[in-house]
């Protein structure tokens, strides 16, 4: 499996605290059946002010440690960018950390606040798409506006966004309500890929293996392969930064 969303680079956001924890996360990720992991630390203006240079430095140290420990995990780097007014500025300054490419557009992991869907999203999505950037929205199933109005999921798709559901949503890690939304999205063919969003080895571990089994049972192994392997593989094959 290919996991496009993780917080494993140590010490730069709310994920791995130190290198020992990051290495434990890498081992757990391999045990979950993942062969390639994209490191996507938060880029959240005023909270986690990560830049491409900060991410690259942390990634280099992590990759060296993973290789030294002989952990059979391929790595690349990007970022999870919180929606804010700086996104167009960062685009113009070439400071957006892309996952790769999808159908000719650069893929940006673009996070909404958990509490709401901000006004003006349609304008931002349109601007990005016109600029050749494909928004990939992580964990919409955990957004409180979506809880109140599940039709917002299809609205996001209608705006041209790709949607990524968290593996733990299928295993019940975030509660029954989130699990139901994830399963409803699967039933309605509203998911483009599944990723772990792993932050540690206990509270937010890598649930990709268990989620793959759930999706295979609810839909089919063919669908699971598309969401966990083929689509994320296509994205990183075209431009992932190692």
For 37-44, what is the mean pLDDT? 97
- Residue 78 CB contacts under 8 Å (≥ 6 apart), including other chains: 4, 38, 39, 40, 97, 98, 99, 100, 109, 240, 241
pLDDT in tens, 177-213: 999 999 999 999 999 999 999 999 999 999 999 999 9
Asked whether residue 239 carries a pLDDT value surpassing 70, the answer given is no
Specify whether the CB–CB gap between 124 and 131 falls below 8 A.
no
Can you give the pLDDT at residue 45?
Answer: 87
Q: What is the mean pLDDT of the chain?
A: 96
Specify the CATH superfamily of domain 2-237: Metal-dependent hydrolases (3.20.20.140)
Asked whether residue 83 carries a pLDDT value surpassing 90, the answer given is yes
At 43, is the pLDDT very low, low, confident or very high (cuts 50, 70, 90)? very high
Can you give the pLDDT at residue 240?
Answer: 64
Domain ranges of the chain: 2-237
Specify whether the CB–CB gap between 25 and 196 falls below 8 A.
no
List, in sequence order, every beta strand (DSSP E) within the chain.
2-3, 36-39, 42-43, 74-77, 80-82, 100-102, 105-111, 133-138, 162-166, 193-195
Asked whether residue 241 carries a pLDDT value surpassing 90, the answer given is no
Can you give the pLDDT at residue 80?
Answer: 98
d(CA 178, CA 173): 9
Can you give the pLDDT at residue 242?
Answer: 64
Percent of the chain with pLDDT over 90: 97
For 162-166, what is the mean pLDDT? 98
For 158-178, what is the mean pLDDT? 98
For 55-71, what is the mean pLDDT? 98
pLDDT in tens, 8-19: 999 999 999 999
């Amino acid at each position: 499996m290919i996991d496009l969303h993780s917080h494993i680079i140590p010490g730069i956001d709310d994920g791995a605290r130190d290198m020992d924890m990051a290495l434990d996360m890498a081992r757990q990720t391999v045990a979950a059946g993942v062969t390639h992991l994209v490191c996507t630390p938060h880029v959240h203006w005023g909270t986690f002010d990560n830049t491409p240079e900060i991410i690259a430095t942390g990634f280099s140290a992590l990759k060296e440690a993973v290789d030294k420990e002989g952990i059979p995990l391929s790595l690349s780097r990007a970022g999870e960018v919180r929606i804010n007014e700086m996104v167009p500025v960062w685009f113009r300054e070439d400071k957006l950390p892309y996952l790769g490419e999808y159908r000719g557009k650069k893929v940006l992991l673009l996070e909404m606040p958990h509490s709401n869907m901000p006004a003006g999203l349609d304008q931002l999505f349109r601007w990005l798409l016109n600029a050749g950037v494909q928004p990939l929205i992580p964990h919409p199933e955990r957004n409180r506006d979506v809880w109140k109005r599940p039709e917002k999921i299809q609205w996001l798709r209608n705006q041209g966004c790709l949607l990524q559901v968290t593996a733990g949503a299928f295993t019940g890690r975030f509660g029954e309500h989130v699990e139901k939304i994830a399963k409803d999205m699967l039933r309605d063919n509203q998911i483009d890929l599944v990723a772990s969003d792993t932050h540690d080895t206990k509270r937010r571990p890598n649930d990709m293996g268990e989620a793959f089994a759930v999706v295979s049972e609810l839909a089919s192994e063919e669908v699971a392969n598309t969401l966990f392997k083929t689509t994320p593989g296509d994205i990183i094959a075209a431009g992932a930064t190692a």
